[in-house]
């Protein structure tokens, strides 16, 4: 039995129709998990689900659309996931928002609240909805996709960075609360990854060069280079890790 085997496990991944979320869903499916694909648009979820089922076998994935800003949508995501697969073993809180790029002095109240609500509050909502069944089974893994933005200051991503730092603390707090039930809560903090979400940071060649110049690997990352950490956290390989943040950034934060 491989340490990274996820057969028999069900994973719910938010924001899983593209980028890091999609890579995590595909790699978990490859390692044997049943996966729930979720983002705001049902038709896009359906397309991704069809692709995963074609690659890894019929019944591997189901699609359940949900807007993370809606508590009702998130509860429906949990209810329908349970209906489809009978349980949730692994929860990946990947979906996030960043509607503002610039100094904190210029952010509107609505933009600031949207970032905090979608990147912190919604994660706590969803975790609270999934945790009771994990407590009952005395087993579960919760993974929050944070960012190295939460480890550094920023002149243009301040609100986003604040939310991602809070996600790391959310993981630590919940790890303390739920450890006695054998529930692990961890974060992944990616550096600059080539996703649509981070396009403003890599699409311009000058910005990309500046972003990677001091990184030891001298390049941007890919979504698939984040997925392995999620498989580790969701499988037996990660059973003794909780409350931690794994940084995957090509060395950007150490140089």
Residue written as token pair 């699609």:
63
Give the model's pLDDT for residue 189. Answer: 98
Active-site position among 100, 101, 160, 178:
160
* pLDDT surpassing 90 at residue 196: no
Q: Mean pLDDT across the stretch 11-21? A: 98
Enclosing domain of residue 56:
10-254
Tens of pLDDT, residues 22-68: 999 999 999 999 999 999 999 999 999 999 999 999 999 999 999 99
Work out the angle between the directed axes of helices 71-85 and 122-137 (0-180°, nearest 10).
30
> Rounded to two decimals, what is the model's pTM?
0.96
Q: Determine how β-strand 183-190 pairs with β-strand 34-38.
A: unpaired
For residue 160, indicate whether it is catalytic: yes
Q: Mean pLDDT across the stretch 231-235? A: 98
As a whole number of angstroms, the distance between CA 90 and CA 82 comes to 12
Q: Which residues pair with 193 in a beta bridge?
A: 221
pLDDT range class, residue 198, cuts 50, 70, 90 = low
Instruction: For 140, list phi and psi in degrees, rounded to 5.
Output: 170, 155
Looking up residue 43, the CATH number of its domain turns out to be 3.40.50.720
CA atoms within 13 A on the CB side of 198: 20
Tens of pLDDT, residues 57-76: 999 999 999 999 999 999 99
Tens of pLDDT, residues 97-156: 999 999 999 999 999 999 999 999 999 999 999 999 999 999 999 999 999 999 999 999
Residue 57 tokens read as 């076998």
As a whole number of angstroms, the distance between CA 157 and CA 101 comes to 6
Residue 80 lies in a domain: yes
CB-based contacts of 203: which residues, under 8 Å, 6+ apart? none
Biggest CA–CA distance in the chain, Å, is 54
Domain count along the chain: 1
Residue 5 lies in a domain: no
Work out the angle between the directed axes of helices 158-178 and 109-116 (0-180°, nearest 10).
30
């Amino acid at each position: 039995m491989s340490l990274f085997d996820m057969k028999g496990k069900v994973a719910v991944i938010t924001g899983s129709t593209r980028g890091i979320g999609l890579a995590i869903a595909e790699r978990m499916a490859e390692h044997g998990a049943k996966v729930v694909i979720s983002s705001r648009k049902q038709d896009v979820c359906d397309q991704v689900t069809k692709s995963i089922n074609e690659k890894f076998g019929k019944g591997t994935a189901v699609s359940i659309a949900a807007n993370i800003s809606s508590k009702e949508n998130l509860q429906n995501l949990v209810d329908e996931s349970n209906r489809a697969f009978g349980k949730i073993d692994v929860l990946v809180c990947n979906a996030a928002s960043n509607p503002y790029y610039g100094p904190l002095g210029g952010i509107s109240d609505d933009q600031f609240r949207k970032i905090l609500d979608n990147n912190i509050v919604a994660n706590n909502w969803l975790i609270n909805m999934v945790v009771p069944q994990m407590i009952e089974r005395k087993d579960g893994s919760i993974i929050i996709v944070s960012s190295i933005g939460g480890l550094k200051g920023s002149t243009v991503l301040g609100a986003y960075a604040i939310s991602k730092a809070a996600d790391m603390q959310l993981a630590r707090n919940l790890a303390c609360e739920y450890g006695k039930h054998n529930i692990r809560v961890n974060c992944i903090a990616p550096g600059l990854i080539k996703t649509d979400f981070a396009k403003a940071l890599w699409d311009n060649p000058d910005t990309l060069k500046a972003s990677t110049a001091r990184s030891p690997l001298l390049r941007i990352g890919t979504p698939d280079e984040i997925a392995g950490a999620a498989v580790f956290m969701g499988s037996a390989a990660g059973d003794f890790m909780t409350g931690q943040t794994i940084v995957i950034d090509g060395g950007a934060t150490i140089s």
